[in-house]
């Protein structure tokens, strides 16, 4: 007699024997007992979970001579013939090989005839999703209103491929994957019946490899019995099936959690020498870290893991004192490594580097602990300084001088008819090196003065006053409180009749009529023949040896309150002839106060900041470095090189170029397509010439550029540089969002603050 495999020998004969599908068995038994049997059933589920076996039990129950009954007798001719597959009224059809409309037409013809002997004519169609659409359509009417004696039982692993019109005409039962413990118990029962001594740990490996399918488990057990005989050990199963021993998994997790990268690599080498598949072993290690994580958070891990009691003891010992956050990170890193192994031609190297990375992981400090530590630190600092901590204030913002005030009107000036001579020492000093030289020939009309703010200085050199310089009333160098130009030394230029501002002690500067330095009370300027020096309180122009404050015809420098500069001999900033006045000048940032002699000689106003971003400032095209055209092989590479070359000299044109679709870029011709939204922009003469010049500069003067307009429909299926960049941005943003969402710190923060959801906002920058 030929050998019958365990999967056939131990096929279930009653509903109760179908392992792990109690909900289906109970429903069908009740339907039979209550005479509520439907004319069409659809059994869905993974392979080897009992769909076909249940269909045969149902067929026996309906056609048994003792029935209909929920417990077939297996003694009558009908039950025995169905078990052997010889019944003339029960048809088992393979949907994969009988999938056409012709086979369904034959079925429709035969279903109309009454059963030959049994109570019902039953059609069992396995893998029904393989039928063609025409076959399903041909079956619709028969399935909706079949004869009273006809019953249909469909079985499939892919119910989503079945038309909804078929689904709506059937009662659907979903068969679940069988749990590992259920499979192990069933295998232990079979081993006892077969007289085989099998270790439970060995059967657990079989159940784990079966992935929820009883038929797969029985096939593996058959293979192992052939190798091991009547005694099955865990080590032999690992050798036969080529799967990793659980000891290797625990050795690896122990090495990782103890930060022993060397031990982890030794275990990997041992696993490789055993001949285990590295990708499968990595998948098992992912599951192993998941089991460790579950063991740390679940009270009864044996209910939700595949670990045995002895393995649970080892797992609890390994995770003792380890934070859950570290276990979660180990799991996440291992998942990432396993995914990379599937895509890499070097899976072992990826696996080893992943283990090295795992061994280097350190526990992260929780947010609540950081907050507590900061609180303790602040308290300790407060105790040390004897009071509360005063945190430093932010530095004050830089002060920018306001726009110059308008010159005072003539009506506001006071004319003095007499001024007493001033003695030495009644002077306001002007700081070193800050003076404007006003040269001859600069004329300032009434009320128009050159205003000088704080730190803006006029230089006065020796002997810069000539005779006969006439200053009319209102053309005055006005100096308000505390603002005076001081000239050291003792040399004076003599000024002719009508010139003002005489200083005693042999140092005299005379100014012609109406040109005066404004001097306040206590400061003397001598005025001859009706020439007036306008003076406000406390302000004197002091002239010392060799240096004179020169005011030529029609030239006035106005100094506002508090703006005083001291000028020593030879240290000046020069203001040349003919400098125009600027009305409504923009705000100017004041230069820092000079600190050294060299600074004094070069003290000038800080130039205003450029208003145009550097990336938009046009560069000299001739000075740009030309890329190597020989290295650019494809049209895409050539066009990118052109765009980047244009970007260096004209960023707006480069931005328009990014929306071009390259149709041709070879043999001396560049043909670009633009959609209507960008065609007019790119084809504008100046922009087109910029692109042409770039092409000729890189590839040669004989190249020519052609631009064409296309519609949106013609652009479908192709991408331009702008679309590629946007897609890259979307991808990077999605990766960053996912990275933040899965970060253990975020999870801890969400748990700490009781947040129901995490919302992530990402903004990308070019630099």
Instruction: Please state, for a pLDDT cut of 90, what percent of the chain lies above it.
Output: 33
Tokens of 145: 């209103």
Cβ neighbors of 161 (< 8 A, separation 6 or more) are 129
Q: In the predicted model, is pLDDT for residue 556 greater than 90?
A: no
Taking Cα atoms as reference points, which of 168, 169, 178 lies closest to residue 24? 178
Mean pLDDT of the chain: 73
Q: What is the mean pLDDT of residues 145-168?
A: 94
Intrachain domains 6-175 and 246-359 with the same fold: no
Instruction: Give the rounded distance of the alpha carbon of 426 from its chain centre.
Output: 71
Q: How far apart are CA 492 and CA 503, in angstroms?
A: 9
Measure the CA angle with vertex 510, ends 509 and 514; round to 5°.
135
Residue 579 has pLDDT above 50, yes or no: no
Q: For CA atoms 745, 749, 755, 761, give the dihedral sign.
A: negative
Confidence of residue 601 (pLDDT cuts 50, 70, 90): very low
Give the pLDDT confidence score for residue 563 in this predicted structure.
Answer: 39
pLDDT band at 499 (very low <50, low <70, confident <90, very high): very low
Q: Residue 296: which residues within 8 A CB-CB, separation 6 or more?
A: 319, 322, 324, 327
Task: Residue 456: name the closest of 605, 608, 607, 606 by CA.
Answer: 605
- Distance, in Å, from the CA atom of 682 to the CA atom of 690, rounded to the nearest integer, reads 10
Residue 202 has pLDDT above 50, yes or no: yes
Assigned fold of 617-718: GMP Synthetase; Chain A, domain 3 (3.30.300)
Of the chain, the end-to-end C-alpha distance in Å amounts to: 79
Q: What is the pLDDT of residue 442?
A: 41
Q: Tell me, what's the pLDDT at 522? A: 37
Q: Rounded to two decimals, what is the model's pTM?
A: 0.47
Q: What pLDDT does residue 480 have?
A: 36
| Mean pLDDT of the 336-355 span | 93
The larger pLDDT score, comparing residue 578 to residue 125, is at: 125
Residue 463: is its pLDDT beyond 80?
no
Residue 243 or 654, more confident: 654
752 pLDDT exceeds 50? yes
pLDDT at 104 over 80: yes
The pLDDT-based confidence of 758 (bands split at 50, 70, 90) is confident
- For residues 152 and 38, is the Cβ–Cβ distance under 8 A? no
Q: Is the pLDDT of residue 166 over 90?
A: yes
The pLDDT assigned to 610 comes to 46
Residues 6+ away with beta carbon under 8 Å from 619: 648, 649
Please return the burial class of 207, using the count of CB atoms within 10 Å of its CB with bins 0-12, 13-18 and 19+: buried
Whether the predicted pLDDT of 333 surpasses 60: yes
With H, G, I as helix, E, B as strand and everything else as coil, classify residue 743: coil
What's 246-359's CATH class? mainly alpha
What pLDDT score does 186 carry? 94
For the stretch 329-338, what's the b/e string if a residue is b when 16 or more beta carbons lie within 10 angstroms of its beta carbon?
bbbebbbebb
Inform me whether the pLDDT recorded for 248 exceeds 70: yes
Beta strands in 304-452 (DSSP E): 400-401, 450-452
Residue 170 pLDDT > 90 = yes
Beta bridge partners of 487: 543, 567
**Residue 553 contacts residue 470 (beta carbons within 8 Å):** yes
Asked if the model's pLDDT at residue 550 lies above 50, the reply is: no
Q: Which contiguous run of DSSP H or E holds residue 589?
A: strand 588-589
Beta bridge partners of 707: 672
Angle between helix 51-63 and helix 22-33 axes, rounded to 10 deg: 20
Alpha-carbon gap, residue 767 to 762, rounded angstroms: 15
Angle at 295 between CA 292 and CA 300, to 5 degrees: 155
Range 6-175 classified under CATH 3.40.50.300: yes
Span 610-615, mean pLDDT?
47
Average pLDDT over residues 473-481: 37
Domain at 180-241: CATH architecture: Orthogonal Bundle (1.10)
Residue 626 pLDDT level (bands cut at 50, 70, 90): confident
Q: Which residues contact 132 (CB under 8 A, 6 or more apart)?
A: 99, 100, 101
Contact 140, 108 (CB under 8 A): no
Q: Rounded to an integer, what distance in angstroms lies between the CA atom of residue 644 and that of residue 655? A: 10
Q: What is the pLDDT of residues 217-238, one digit of tens each?
A: 999 999 999 988 889 988 788 7
Rounded to a whole number, what is the largest CA-CA distance in the chain? Answer: 152
Highest mean pLDDT among 401-405, 425-429, 550-554: 401-405
| Dist. CA 50–CA 44, nearest whole Å | 10
Give yes or no for residue 430 having a pLDDT over 80: no
Q: Residue 442 and residue 551: Cα distance in Å, rounded?
A: 9
- Tell me the per-residue pLDDT of 358-413, one tens digit each, with 9 for 90 and over: 999 887 766 776 777 777 777 777 665 555 555 555 455 554 444 455 554 444 44
Q: Tens digits of per-residue pLDDT, 506-543? A: 333 333 333 334 333 334 333 333 343 343 333 334 43
pLDDT at residue 622, rounded to an integer: 64
Q: What is the DSSP letter of 508?
A: B
Contact 202, 236 (CB under 8 A): yes
- Structural domain boundaries in the chain: 6-175, 180-241, 246-359, 427-577, 617-718
Considering 232-241, 317-326, 628-637, the range whose residues carry the highest mean pLDDT is 317-326
For residue 453, pLDDT beyond 60: no
Q: Output the pLDDT for position 755.
A: 80
- What pLDDT does 392 receive? 52
**Helix H segments across 229-366?**
234-241, 246-257, 261-274, 278-297, 309-319, 324-343, 347-359
pLDDT of residue 446: 37
Please enumerate in sequence order all residues whose Cβ is within 8 A of that of 467, keeping only pairs 6 or more positions apart, or say none. 494, 495, 496, 499
Query: Strand 704-710 to strand 669-675: parallel, antiparallel, or no bridges (unpaired)?
Result: parallel
């Amino acid at each position: 007699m030929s050998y019958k495999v365990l999967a056939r020998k131990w096929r279930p004969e009653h509903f109760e024997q179908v392992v792990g599908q109690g909900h289906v068995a109970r429903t069908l038994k009740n339907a039979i007992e209550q005479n509520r049997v439907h004319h069409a059933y659809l059994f869905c589920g993974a392979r080897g979970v009992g769909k076909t076996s249940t269909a045969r039990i149902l067929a026996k129950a309906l056609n048994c001579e003792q029935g209909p009954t929920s417990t077939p007798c297996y003694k009558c001719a009908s039950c025995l013939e169905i078990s052997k597959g010889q019944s003339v009224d029960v048809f088992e059809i393979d949907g994969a090989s009988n999938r056409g409309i012709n086979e369904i037409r034959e079925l429709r013809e035969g279903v109309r005839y009454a059963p030959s002997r049994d109570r019902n004519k039953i059609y069992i169609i396995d893998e029904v999703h393989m039928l063609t659409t025409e076959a399903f359509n041909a079956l619709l009417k028969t399935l909706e209103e079949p004869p009273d004696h006809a019953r249909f039982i469909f079985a499939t692993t892919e119910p989503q491929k079945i038309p909804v019109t078929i689904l709506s005409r059937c009662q659907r039962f979903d068969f679940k994957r069988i749990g590992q413990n259920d499979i192990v118990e069933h295998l232990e029962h079979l081993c006892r019946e077969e007289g085989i001594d099998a270790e439970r740990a060995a059967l657990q490996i079989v159940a784990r490899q079966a992935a929820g399918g009883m038929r797969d488990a029985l096939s593996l057990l058959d293979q192992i019995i052939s190798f091991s005989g009547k005694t099955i050990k865990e080590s032999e199963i690992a050798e036969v099936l080529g799967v990793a021993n659980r000891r290797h998994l625990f050795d690896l997790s122990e090495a990782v959690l103890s930060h022993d990268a060397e031990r982890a690599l030794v275990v990997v080498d041992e696993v490789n020498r055993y001949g285990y598949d590295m990708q499968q072993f990595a998948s098992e290690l992912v599951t192993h870290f998941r089991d460790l994580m579950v063991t740390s958070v679940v009270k009864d891990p044996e209910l939700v893991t595949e670990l045995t009691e002895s393995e649970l003891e080892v797992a609890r010992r390994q995770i003792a004192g380890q934070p859950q956050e570290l276990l979660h990170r180990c799991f996440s890193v291992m998942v990432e490594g396993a995914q990379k192994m599937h895509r890499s031609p070097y899976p072992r190297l990826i696996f080893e580097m992943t283990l090295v990375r795992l061994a280097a992981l350190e526990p992260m400090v929780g947010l609540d602990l950081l907050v507590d530590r900061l609180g303790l630190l602040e308290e300790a600092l407060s105790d040390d300084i004897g009071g509360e901590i005063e945190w430093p204030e932010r530095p004050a913002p830089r002060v920018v001088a306001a726009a110059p005030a308008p010159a005072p009107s003539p009506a506001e000036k006071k004319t003095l008819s007499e001024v007493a001579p001033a003695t030495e020492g009644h002077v306001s000093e002007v700081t070193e090196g800050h003076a404007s030289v006003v040269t001859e020939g600069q004329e300032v009309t009434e009320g128009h003065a050159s205003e000088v703010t704080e730190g803006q200085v006029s230089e006065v050199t020796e002997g810069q006053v000539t005779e006969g310089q006439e200053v009319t009333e209102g053309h005055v160098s006005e100096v308000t409180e505390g603002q005076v130009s001081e000239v050291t030394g003792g040399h004076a230029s003599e000024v002719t009749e009508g010139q003002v501002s005489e200083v005693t002690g042999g140092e005299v500067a005379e100014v012609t009529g109406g040109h005066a330095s404004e001097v306040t009370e206590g400061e003397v300027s001598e005025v001859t023949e009706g020439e007036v020096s306008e003076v406000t309180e406390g302000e004197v122009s002091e002239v010392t040896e060799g240096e004179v404050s020169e005011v030529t015809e029609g030239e006035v420098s106005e100094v506002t309150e508090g703006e005083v500069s001291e000028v020593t001999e030879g240290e000046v900033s020069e203001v040349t002839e003919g400098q125009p006045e600027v009305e409504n000048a923009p705000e100017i940032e004041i230069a820092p106060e000079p600190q050294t002699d060299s600074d004094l000689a070069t003290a000038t106003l800080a130039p205003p900041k450029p208003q145009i971003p550097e990336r938009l400032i046009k560069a000299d095209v001739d000075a740009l470095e030309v890329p190597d055209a020989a290295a650019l092989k494809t049209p895409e590479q050539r066009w990118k090189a052109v765009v980047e070359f244009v970007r260096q000299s004209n960023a707006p044109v480069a931005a328009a170029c990014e929306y071009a679709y390259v149709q041709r870029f070879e043999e001396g011709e560049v043909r670009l397509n633009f959609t209507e939204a960008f065609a007019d922009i790119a084809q504008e003469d100046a922009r087109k010439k910029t692109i042409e010049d770039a092409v000729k500069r890189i590839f040669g003067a004989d190249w020519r550029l052609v631009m064409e307009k296309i519609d949106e429909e013609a652009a479908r299926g192709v991408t331009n540089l702008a679309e590629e960049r946007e897609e890259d941005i979307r991808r990077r943003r999605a990766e960053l969002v996912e990275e933040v969402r899965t970060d253990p710190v975020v999870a801890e923060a969400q748990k700490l603050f009781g947040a129901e959801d995490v919302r992530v906002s990402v903004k990308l920058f070019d630099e």
